[in-house]
A and B are shown apart, each in its own frame.
Chain A
Amino acid sequence: MGKLNYRVVIFFFAFLFGIVFSIPSLTQSEEGKKITLGLDLQGGLHMLLSVKTEVAIESKVKSIGTSLKYSLEDEGIVFEDLKIDEGKVIFELLDSEDVPKVDKLLQDDFKEVLIQKNALVYEVGLSSELSKKTEQNAIDQAVDTIRNRLNMFGLAEPTVAKQGTDKILVEVPGVKTAEDEQRIRALIAKAAHLQMMAVDEDRANRVYGMTDAEAKQYGDVILSDVNDNRTKYLLYSIPILDGSMLTDAQVGYEEKSNRPLINFSLNGQGAKIFADFTEVSVGKRMAVVLDNQVYTAPNIVQRIGGGQVQITGSFTPQEAHDVAIALRSGALLAPVKVEEKRSVGPSLGADSIKASSIALMVGFIMVVIFMLIYYGMAGVISNFALVANLFLILAVMSLFEATLTLPGMAGIVLTVGMAVDANVIITERIRELLHQGNSITKSIEQGYNNAFTAIWDANITTLIAAVVLYAYGTGPIKGFSLTISIGVLASMLTAILGTHGIYQWILPKIDKNKLGFWFGIKPEKGAK
């Protein structure tokens, strides 16, 4: 053996590094950083959601309306026709002397609103900053809420993350059946939007003859009963309070009938509003509305303090349980909708792993045998580089805890075919020089020199395509460009540096009379 040189030492350590760091992934051990399988390989639900932010804006306007109404009443200001139209809260003062009071109130307590005044008519809308903030808030809040819900239901390692500025990525691995998948989706989708609304008793008896547009003119809304959608209620569209003032929700049971119900507690502000409202509304009805359905609309018998409220309705225990969790984890400020859904059953994922592994194995064995037969020992040396390359890809992916997808597997298979390219180029060059009658040492050194620019330029072009693909690709495609990129970079190390080092190391062993064995060629006699 020749002297150890820096190239072979680097190669050896790279090889070692590759093996050591790919072990956790290969054995799927508990400890150590390892590659995670993409949802297309392990099965699971992938969804890209977006938030109907226009609804968040609408409810923001509504909540401004609610607090405005409360504040005006609190200050003893007389007003008329407080209603919401085209994203604005509109009301008219009866007494022009109240104008400065209202102006001050708006200025102090209602930040970032746009106010238009026309004589005594006020139009209060959202400023563009507030709109934007409300939208972002709705998205962020949806991310948190969905994450909370999935965690509370004890699903394994769900991912919920904001993607870009307005999308939410939801990934739930290990979903077994289509039914389970649907249940998870129902859980995600539940708005859990709780409102306490007052019945418009003055017009309530006309509800069955009224259109939605007509109701809107009165500042009302028509909602139906959860159990019987023919039963309608005419409610003031501005709620007394909503779920944002809720601090807890638990399943309870009615004493006599043992039917499930939900108890919830309001925070201090909510409790006060609720108490004040019930005090002045004795004899009237108040509806508990969840996701735009009326669950119960009892008569108010007396002032209710303490902020403890109940929702009854004919829940099944399972439903009550789900609703309580949804209420606890918070309402979605705005509903979410699906932009993209990819769901892979566990059996399909397993099949994909099997098929791509077989392709990798068969491709690998074919290339290795081919190189061995065609190039002799030179082929064996390239095969070392190829094996090292595979381990390096796995090791780097493990260290970054990257995700291996099906296209990623395809990328690895493709790398097997392309990584030997460098060695093919080099060995062809060496053979050429040997044919020209050069010494082995010179042929090897010169061969590497001659081959270098070609390999370098060729690999850079592949890398450019792969990097662009990574930047613009989504999901599984990123996996493909990732494995290709790592493969190309690793092949520079293993196929160029590594094999060169091996040649230099074993140089004294290479017998110039056995070129057939070493390089698979028979130089013509007298070739120069």
Chain B
Amino acid sequence: MEVFKYNKPIVSFMENAKKFGIFSLVLVVLSLGLLFTKGLNYGIDFAGGTVIQVKYKGDAPIEEVRNLLHENKAYSGASVTFFGSNDEIAIRTKSTSSDVDADVSDEVRQLLQGTGEYEIRGVDMVGPAVGDELRTQGLMAMVLSIIGILLYLSFRFEWRFALASVVALIHDVTIAMGMLALFQIDVNLPILAAILTILGYSLNDTVIVFDRIREGIRTIKSPELGDVIDESVTRTLSRTTLTSLTTFFVVLTLYLFGGEILKGFSFTLLVGVVVGTYSSIFVASPVLMWLKFSIVEFREKEAAALKREKEKEKMRAQFEQGTI
């Protein structure tokens, strides 16, 4: 089966680059707006607090639980929501306790007595110190991976490629975080993992397109970068779409079947896959063009590098044949 025919005409992506640029800019600005107004809803991993998951036999008496907790001064700020189904609730409170033998979960367990037959299925309690530490570590992880990837790409391509891919990356992560703010999803450790995965994934996509552009610069006659990009992007369109689809579908199964705990994680990834695919074509490549990347210059440099590479290859071939 072939959806993208080989001899289909080359799509003029770069002619419309400005339109997509504006569209992306609007999305990014909206996301930033959301991040600054609504803000991220930090979950207990980063903000500290306690989440208690309670499953009832039959429907959970959510109103009764709410009233019970709100009557108690210590838990007046607690939120009680259904968790995945009608018989399961999650109680979230800012309170934590440092006592080993008597903590928030024990108190809540006492409070809930008489609300029906229930089972405490899970308790997560993160003290404020740990939350701070995790947040610092999370930020460090993000910054370090961006730096690492930037260095690697500068080394493998050219600094404009690296910069363009990082612009696309920031675009993706900002929009993904904007969506987290929009839907007020609890930002916990798995979300951080998802964001870092988006980081890797978005770059993965961009690198594939850039690799083709790099190749196109050598093989395509036109000295216009726009033409080279158009042809290269058209050639990778099939791959980009297919891989994005397989990834999208597995993440979708994770979202649909993976259970309540992985919902936020897979949602973030879903956003990331869509935005990452879009940005590798409509953000990274135009930015490369706008950075005034010069084909002629690059060809000269590449020619020199190619010569070295060829020599190396020859050596390798000789080595494999055992002549050295």
Give the interface of A toward B (CB within 8 A).
Answer: 40, 47-49, 178, 182, 185-186, 188-190, 336-345, 347-348, 351-352, 355-356, 358-359, 362-364, 366-367, 370-371, 373-375, 406-407, 410, 413-414, 416-418, 420-421, 424-425, 428, 431-432, 435, 450, 453-454, 457-466, 468-469, 471-477, 480-481, 484, 520-522, 524, 527
Contact = CB atoms under 8 A, between A and B. Distances in A.
Contact of B258 (A356, A461, A465, A480): A356
Contacts of A178: 105-106, 109, 120, 123
B207 to A, nearest CB: 5
Nearest to A469: B196
Interface in B217-258: 235-236, 238-239, 242-243, 245-251, 253-254, 256-258
27 contacts: A185-B100, A336-B100, A338-B97, A339-B127, A339-B129, A342-B123, A347-B119, A410-B265, A420-B243, A420-B246, A428-B238, A435-B7, A450-B215, A454-B207, A458-B211, A461-B152, A461-B153, A462-B200, A464-B200, A465-B196, A465-B197, A465-B199, A472-B141, A474-B189, A476-B189, A477-B189, A524-B6
B189 A48 contact: no
A364 B253 CA distance: 10
Interface in B181-212: 189-190, 192-193, 196-197, 199-201, 203-205, 207-208, 211-212
Contact of A188 (B100, B123, B253): B100
Nearest to A406: B261
A463 B145 CA distance: 10
Given A182-B101, A337-B99, A348-B122, A363 B7 contact: no
Given A345-B121, A469-B145, A355 B100 contact: no
Interface of B: 1-2, 6-7, 53, 55, 97-103, 105-106, 109, 119-127, 129-130, 134, 137-138, 140-141, 144-145, 148-149, 152-153, 156, 189-190, 192-193, 196-197, 199-201, 203-205, 207-208, 211-212, 215, 235-236, 238-239, 242-243, 245-251, 253-254, 256-259, 261-262, 265-266, 269
A378 to B, nearest CB: 11
A477 B105 contact: no
Contacts of A352: 259, 261
Contacts of A340: 125-127, 130
Given A345-B120, A453-B211, A468 B144 contact: yes
B100 A366 contact: no
Interface residue SS majority, chain A: helix
Contacts of B144: 468, 472
B197 A521 contact: no
B61 to A, nearest CB: 18
Nearest to A47: B100
Nearest to A45: B123
A417 B251 contact: yes
B253 A182 contact: no
A348 B121 contact: yes
Given A344-B122, A465-B149, A469-B141, A418 B101 contact: no
Contacts of A527: 6-7
A458 B126 contact: no
Nearest to B106: A182
B196 to A, nearest CB: 5
A143 to B, nearest CB: 14
A140 B156 CA distance: 47
Contact of A343 (B123, B196, B248, B261): B123
B204 A458 contact: yes
B1 A462 contact: no
Contacts of B196: 465-466, 468-469
Contacts of B250: 359, 363-364, 366-367, 413-414, 416-417
A425 B238 CA distance: 9
A367 B249 CA distance: 8
Nearest to B109: A178
Contacts of B238: 428
A431 B6 contact: yes
Given A338-B103, A339-B129, A342-B125, A461 B7 contact: no
Given A338-B98, A469-B141, A424 B246 contact: yes
Given A370-B246, A468-B196, 6 more contacts: A345-B121, A359-B256, A407-B262, A432-B6, A473-B137, A527-B6
Nearest to A462: B200
A363 B193 contact: no
B145 A421 contact: no
A520 B119 CA distance: 54
B100 A189 contact: yes
Contacts of A356: 254, 258-259, 262
A351 B259 contact: yes
B103 to A, nearest CB: 6
Contacts of B126: 339-340
Contacts of A484: 197
A472 B152 contact: no
A339 B239 contact: no
Contact of B7 (A337, A366, A524): A524
Nearest to A362: B253
A172 to B, nearest CB: 13
B149 A407 contact: no
B6 A472 contact: no
B322 to A, nearest CB: 13
Given A410-B265, A465-B145, A522 B204 contact: no
Nearest to B273: A417
B263 to A, nearest CB: 10
B124 A424 contact: no
B2 A521 contact: yes
A219 to B, nearest CB: 30
B257 A359 contact: yes
